[in-house]
Every structure is written in C-alpha cells, then in structure tokens.
C-alpha cells in the first residue's frame, strides 16, 4: 500500500506535467539563446534568463527522479 502512491493516477499526472514543464523550460532557454545571437544589445540579459530557466528545469528533474 505504501508503494501504491507511485502508481496513483494523480501522481502519474503530476509527474507528466512536471516533465512537460521541464521540457518547456529547456526549449525556452534554447530559444532565448538563439534570440541573444541576433540581439547583442540584450544578449547578456537573455542568456541570464536562459540560465535561470535551465536551473529551474534541473530542480524539476529532481521531482521526476522520485517516480
């Protein structure tokens, strides 16, 4: 019964949403870096935001490892 929580539909849905969010954050970081190449005047700021997005994705990765 204790291990049953891992297969509950709600836990599975939350894990899926976390994974989707993690993927979105990584894709957004990639896109920001691409834009930074075209906008040198704000490139440093865009790269900083991209780095923060990737850091958040790493935090979320810890939750998906619990599955």
Structure confidence by residue, pLDDT tens digits, 8-38: 888 888 889 999 999 999 999 999 999 999 9
Query: How far is C-alpha 49 from the chain's CA centre?
Result: 13
* pLDDT given for residue 30 in this prediction: 97
**Maximum separation of any 2 CA atoms in the chain, in Å:** 57
pTM for the whole structure: 0.79
pLDDT value, residue 5: 63
What's the mean pLDDT when you consider all of the chain? 88
In order of 11, 31, 32, 54, 67, the CA distances from 43 in angstroms are: 39, 12, 9, 16, 37
């Amino acid at each position: 019964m204790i291990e049953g929580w891992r297969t509950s539909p709600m836990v599975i849905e939350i894990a899926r949403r976390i994974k989707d969010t993690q993927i979105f954050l990584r894709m957004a970081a990639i896109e920001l870096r691409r834009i930074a190449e075209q906008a040198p005047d704000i490139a440093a700021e865009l790269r900083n935001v991209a780095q923060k997005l990737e850091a958040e994705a790493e935090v979320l990765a810890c939750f998906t490892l619990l599955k």
